[in-house]
Structure 1
């Protein structure tokens, strides 16, 4: 008797020990996952936050009508086509006299962004009375100066190992001494489209392209996916061979690599129907194909979760099958349907491979105005910037990732809020 009691106690002790080890393993897995996630987020944040600031250079610009080649003509067309580059170059020479070497002259012109002449043009066209006066204006600094100001270029390195030469560092020191260099919030990052010049590049075009593509996707995938789920779950005949084949194919499509949908869009929408490449319409059509299986499966699961008593009560009170489905079952399943739809949209928002196949990898500088205008999307923009060699594009890549993560967080919060709202109505 005593030996049996000891055996039972030993077995219980071993069982409790196994349970404790399992809990420790599970807790360890969670801690490791959180540690990796935090490491990723910290790395992205520390690299991306500098992109939200931009360096500006102050220059005293002598807006001389002779340098502008106006010849006494101050019409809008004359002001638009005037030689603003020459004015800026002359102002830089005045600021740094004694620069005679050809290589140094070129480097001097590269202190400020190429957009300076367009900024000066807009200023003069808006203020024509400033012609033949001297104005103190702030211009975007070139990417190398900006990166140096953010501490990403070590001036203690040998001159051959850094992008800025010694004479350029002397110029920067002079600008700092005269308070002609300052960092400001980089509003251009959110208000400009893509550019070959890092200091001018922004995500507005990619953001608008993503929103238009998601608009097409949700307008097509939500009604089609939910309608298909309602038919398969509520109206389709049971134990039917064709229905079984459709269900199997839907489940299989959910596991198909996303690039396959890109190939399908390339062959069908572009090759057969002739839809133009690189527009939100074709992107939305391809992402609709990719998102439909997710929406159908999640919507069917939400419909299945509705208690049978709701259907039985409605039918017992004389409601038709259609009335029971659309007045009682679908409203009860709507929280799950919306959650699945938003999760599918979040997955589509982060997709790159299928969009590369339909040409949305093209360099698009203009901001799209509609679903038929050439555009790109945020994931593709991130892909393009990550392949650029300039250091300034590295920080903009991380900043764009932060914006994309922000979109995904907002979409998940929206799913949670909508779910709770519909659950309260029930």
Structure 2
């Protein structure tokens, strides 16, 4: 009887084990399905933004075109060519006086509705305009070319002119400021807490607060940055300096925690050996502990910066949601970042901004995945096995 009961219990445990494995595999499969759907949706909507419609039209550089650029085109073409291009015609004539009085065929930027039509997406073109574009395409006068403007232009109210350049430069500036302020302060704080801080009743309080700072909502760091850096220190609002300092507050706890973990992973025998050879505690840290823990420190830093580059809420509070058509010239100029640019495009009513929103997400994901990949590489390549 006891043997039968034991056998029954073993069978029950095995059934529970199989059910647990089935639940685990189902959860992984569901998460994978959502991930695949996410990437499919983003890529299918965004890859078309890397192409832009162009039309080959007759451009006449006349006195009238010097005053109003759309007069350089025929009446039917002026409605199909981007207004951004026609506005640049007088500027081009000012820069190159030899254009005046000439007429030539050129590939020019098409309006966003023409672009959507050539991509097979919903548009507001009339039947006659669709017929004309179809005819031009059949004669090789309408095409989809690589959209260099998406990477080289700043923001614009015209979808066909809008690009990520100004947001990318702003993100780079913000990331530089974040690194310069959070990395040295975070590493030095971790070294002190791990190697030199006295073991008293205040240390547990400090450690709990550092861990709590790493977990609080990011928008609270935005409020803190607004109060300290903008209202108190007078840092220019909407600048990369304000955004970088705010994000450095958010990144600081992550760097401190990861650095302490990397330092703690170094065996105590390394410290004891250095001290036994006559090294001072600071010499031990600088020549032995810090070099050995550097891969772990860099890994945590890169992950913290990757998280910072994808943040929007703190930057919303410090004003980095402004319309910025040109790249910032320095750290104190008005700037925006990629997440804020993506949010701005997603809230626009024009259909053509939808694909640019997805394309911006693709670029941002590529940057974040590259940074995480670099962190994994450094960890695996440089990590010392004890």
Work out the CA distance in 1 between the residues paired with 2:20 and 2:385.
40
Residue matched to 2:64? 67
- Work out whether 1:116 is the aligned partner of 2:85: yes
Q: Deviations over 1:229-287 (max 9, x none)?
A: 1100110001x123222222111111211111111111111111111111111100000
Does structure 1 retain, via aligned residues, the 8 Å contact 2:60–2:102?
yes
Q: Find the counterpart in structure 1 of residue 16 from structure 2.
A: 18
Partner Cα separation in structure 2 for residue 364 and residue 147 of structure 1: 25
C-alpha contact 1:193 1:201 (8 A) present in aligned 2: yes
1:203–1:378 contact (8 Å) kept in structure 2: yes
TM-score, length-normalised on structure 2?
A: 0.95
Superposition pairs for residues 32-43 of structure 1, below 5 Å?
32-43=30-41
CA distance in 2 between partners of 1:317 and 1:9 (Å): 62
Measured after TM superposition, the shift of residue 12 of structure 1 is 2.0
Larger-gyration structure (1/2): 1
Report the equivalent of 2:352. Answer: 392
Preserved CA contact (<8 Å) 1:213 1:280: yes
2:233 is equivalent to residue 273 of structure 1: yes
Q: Is the 8 A contact 1:206 1:381 kept in 2?
A: yes
TM-aligned CA deviation for residue 173 of structure 1: 2.9
Q: How does 1:221-370 map to 2 (within 5 A)?
A: 221-238=182-199, 240-370=200-330
* Residue in structure 1 matching 2:342, options 375, 382, 385: 382
CA distance in 2, matches of 1:163, 1:86: 20
Tell me the residue number matched to 2:69.
Answer: 85
Matched, 1:202 2:199: no
Contact 1:61 1:87 in 2 (8 A): no
- Once the two structures are overlaid, the 10-residue window that deviates more, 124-133 or 383-392, is 124-133
Checking the alignment, whether the CA contact within 8 Å between 1:67 and 1:86 is kept in structure 2 is no
Contact 2:69 2:88 in 1 (8 A): no
Q: Cα offset for 1:86?
A: 4.7
Give the C-alpha shift of residue 121 in structure 1.
4.0
Over the residues paired in the alignment, what is the CA RMSD in angstroms? 1.9
3-state DSSP of counterpart to 2:107: strand
Aligned to 1:31: 29
Aligned-partner Cα distance in 2 for 1:259–1:355: 8
Are 1:220 and 2:181 an aligned pair?
Answer: yes
Q: Deviations over 1:176-234 (max 9, x none)?
A: 24322110000000000000000000000000100110000011101100110110011
Instruction: Return 5+ residue gaps in structure 2 as ranges.
Output: none
With 15-24 and 337-346 compared, the bigger mean Cα shift is at: 15-24
Q: 1:129 maps to which residue? A: 98
| Structure 2 CA distance for aligned equivalents of residues 374 and 127 of structure 1 | 32
Q: Does 1:402 align with 2:386?
A: no
CA distance in 2, matches of 1:86, 1:118: 7
1:54-111 per-position Cα deviation (integer Å, ceiling 9, x unaligned): 00111112223x434xxxxxxxxxxxxx2252532xx323xx5xxxxxxxxxxx6331
How far apart, in 2, do the equivalents of 1:55 and 1:5 lie? 78
Rounded to whole Å, the distance in 1 between the matches of 2:134 and 2:376 is: 52
TM-score by length of 1: 0.86
Give unmatched runs, 5+ long, in structure 1: 69-81, 97-107, 154-161
Residue from 4, 7, 11 that aligns with 1:6 = 4
Deviation at 1:372, TM superposition (A): 1.3
- How far 1:385 sits from its partner (Å)? 0.3
Structure 1 SS opposite 2:144: strand
Aligned 8 A contact 2:54 2:107 in 1: yes
Deviations 1:320-342 (A, max 9, x none): 21122222222222221111111
Asked whether the 8 Å contact 2:246–2:314 carries over to 1, the reply is yes
1:355-396 CA distance string (max 9 Å, x none): 000000110111112211211000000010000011110000
Paired residues of 2:194 and 2:264 also in contact (CA < 8 A) = yes
